[in-house]
Amino acid sequence: MLSRSHRVPIFSLLLLLAVPAFPQNSEQVQVGPPPMRRAAPPAPGAYAEELERAGDALRAEKSYLDAIDYYEAAMKKAPNTASLLNKMGICYLQLQRYKEARKLLEQSIKMDRSLAVAYNNLGVVYYSVHDYGKAIHRYEKAILLDPDAASYYSNLAAAYFSSKKYAEAALNYGKAIELDPDIFERTSRAGVQAQISSPQDLARFDYVMAKLYAKMGVADRSLKYLRKAMEEGYKDIGDVYKDGEFAQLRKDPRFAELMAAKPPAITE
């Protein structure tokens, strides 16, 4: 059991957009800073289900250490429960205790090899330590088990993007948008920046997003991301005049206005 005296602060980091996109259920990972709070110890006479629900509530409040206490208490009454191990792994991941998170998630998968969220979350562990090859493998396994989860494709795309495999990244970002057109609109801008290594890569990411939305015919969002790419100094912005995805957007008067305005690159 992790002592409360060993609480460690963590910084915001999206894992679906990286962005990973925001998770679509409570069993997928979304990293955020835990508040400083302490819950009462688990009641010895509580049932496993009660302890698990209490742990879920504490995890939702980002009280990860307290949640771990409750999940551990539930495990004593319901040993070898894959979903509990997955939830404990999430808590350690949120605390950036990657070794513990990986061990628990691997145990969860060993107990239930059909648990897609555990593969996804293990992928997040590997992504967080920059082992993108292993992250890609786990995300692909999660997708194989649950091909309708937009966040899995977004996570896979982020791992490809970080590996400089931009074509594969664009393909999987596109699949994520097909499943959930609003997935990136719910993603924190700060979270994207936290995951992308350089301003030029961030500009490239926004250009890729502009292409994807243009291909879908969502002009407003395409123009928004195109403006961001220009503000971030995307060096190949001239490709917008030849990339086929922008064929329809180039007919939009707002496109001509944006390109004529040439938003200056913003630097810090």
pLDDT at 268 over 90: no
Rounded Cα–Cα distance for residues 12 and 226 (Å): 25
What lies within 8 Å, CB to CB, of 123 at 6+ separation is: 134, 135, 136, 137, 138, 139, 142, 155, 156, 159
Q: Residue 28, Cα to own-chain centre: how many angstroms?
A: 9
pLDDT of residue 39: 81
pLDDT of residue 28: 66
pLDDT of residue 36: 53
pLDDT of residue 195: 59
pLDDT at 262 over 90: no
Rounded Cα–Cα distance for residues 56 and 258 (Å): 47
Which range has highest mean pLDDT (23-32, 50-59, 258-267)?
50-59
Max CA-CA distance within the chain? 70
Name the percent of the chain lying above pLDDT 70.
Answer: 80
Quickly count helices (H) and strands (E) in the chain: 12, 0
The CATH homologous superfamily to which domain 7-164 belongs is Tetratricopeptide repeat domain (1.25.40.10)
pLDDT of residue 199: 74
**Domain spans in the chain, listed from the N-terminal domain onward:** 7-164
3-state secondary structure of 19: strand
**16 pLDDT tier (thresholds 50, 70, 90):** very low
Bigger pLDDT: 188 or 235? 235
Tell me the H-state helices in 163-218: 166-179, 189-195, 199-216
Averaged over 151-156, what is the pLDDT? 94
Strands, E assignment, the chain: none
- 23-43 pLDDT, tens per residue? 445 566 655 554 555 788 888
Rounded Cα–Cα distance for residues 72 and 3 (Å): 13
pLDDT of residue 14: 33
- 102-132 pLDDT, tens per residue? 999 999 999 999 999 999 999 999 999 999 9
Token duo for residue 241: 């005049």
On whether the CB atoms of residues 142 and 123 are closer than 8 A, the answer is: yes
What lies within 8 Å, CB to CB, of 36 at 6+ separation is: 7
Please report how many Cα atoms fall inside a 13 Å half-sphere around the Cα of residue 262, on the Cβ side. Answer: 3
Considering the chain, what is the average pLDDT of its residues?
85
pLDDT of residue 20: 42
> Against a cut of 0.85, is the pTM above it?
no
What lies within 8 Å, CB to CB, of 129 at 6+ separation is: 98
Pick from 103, 70, 77: nearest CA to 1: 70
pLDDT at 147 over 70: yes
pLDDT of residue 201: 86
pLDDT at 17 over 70: no
End-to-end CA distance of the chain: 43
Token duo for residue 32: 């955020």
Rounded Cα–Cα distance for residues 105 and 100 (Å): 9
pLDDT of residue 23: 46
**190 pLDDT tier (thresholds 50, 70, 90):** very low
**187 pLDDT tier (thresholds 50, 70, 90):** low
